[in-house]
Amino acid sequence: LASSPSGAAAARPGTGPWPEGPEAVFVGRDDELRQLREALQEAREGRGRAVFVTGEPGSGKTALLAEFASQVLSCEPDVAVAGGRCPLPAGPAEPCLPFREALKVLSGDPDGGWLPARCPGYVPPALADWSRVLARALTGKADLLPGSRRTGPDQDPQAAGPEFLPGQVEETLRAFARERPLVLLLDDVHWADPGSLVVLGRLARQLPRSRILLVASL
């Protein structure tokens, strides 16, 4: 999807980088939102995909993600929505940060993750249910928890296992999506750390057989 300035959201000076609050106005983008809704319907049916939102800086890419998230949260109670941001590189990168932020939302911690919505501090009523879904998806699969150790005949049981983090993140997200359709939002993917790119590549191979709609801005 291409993002153009003519479809940008209008908000009062001093607000955040996406529209927030009752004064925020989101205009245009009907075609882009329609395409995202169609992609979501396919994901619900087990034909997930990745959609990339492109455009110049300031053209409203993040605002489009926020508006789509708000629509899904308002109209699709059986769909989970979570996201993460890829920060501007400034020092050592935190591995898989945007995906770990999304998992924080799904675990019931909206302040620790990133959930773009039209209202500051908004907590979706389904958040507690998402955390129960995540716990159910991981029942008996403790080794999927990002950062947990993995042991086996050829592995050191004392190894913390950061090298396994991308695989754990990807498998955790897919386990969740088997229980509940998932909209996964990633902002500023062009700044993604190497671990996040590994997760993105692993997910991309599995999306057509999943209930995940990945929407990324770059």
- pLDDT tens profile 13-58: 333 444 444 444 444 578 999 999 999 999 999 999 999 999 888 8
Place of tokens 């003519």: 6
Residue 15 CB burial class (10 angstroms; 0-12, 13-18, ≥19): middle
Give me the pLDDT at residue 15, please: 35
pLDDT tens profile 81-116: 999 999 887 767 789 999 999 999 999 988 888 887
Give me the pLDDT at residue 28, please: 56
Kindly list the distances between the CA atom of residue 18 and the CA atoms of 35, 91, 134, 160, in Å, as whole numbers in the listed order: 20, 26, 28, 38
Do the beta carbons of residue 9 and residue 63 sit within 8 Å? yes
Give me the pLDDT at residue 25, please: 45
pLDDT tens profile 156-195: 444 445 568 899 999 999 999 999 999 999 999 999 999 9
Q: What is the phi/psi pair of residue 127, to 5°? A: -60, -45
For the chain, the average pLDDT equals: 81
Give me the pLDDT at residue 141, please: 76
pLDDT band at 143 (very low <50, low <70, confident <90, very high): low
> What are the residue ranges of helices labelled H in 114-193?
127-137, 165-179
For residue 213, pLDDT over 70 is answered with: yes
Tokens of 8: 């940008």
Give me the pLDDT at residue 164, please: 82
Give me the pLDDT at residue 88, please: 84
Q: Please provide the DSSP assignment of the chain as one string.
A: -B--GGGPPB--TT--SS--STT-B----HHHHHHHHHHHHHHHTT--EEEEEB--TTSSHHHHHHHHHHHHHHH-TTSEEEEEE-PPP-SSPPTTHHHHHHHHHHTT-GGGSB---SSTT---TTHHHHHHHHHHHTTT-GGGSTT----BTTB-TT---GGGHHHHHHHHHHHHHHHS-EEEEEE-GGG--HHHHHHHHHHHHHGGGSSEEEEEE-
Q: Specify the DSSP class assigned to residue 4.
A: -
Tokens of 61: 């890419």
pLDDT band at 148 (very low <50, low <70, confident <90, very high): low
Residue 197 CB burial class (10 angstroms; 0-12, 13-18, ≥19): middle
Give me the pLDDT at residue 111, please: 82
For residue 153, pLDDT over 60 is answered with: no
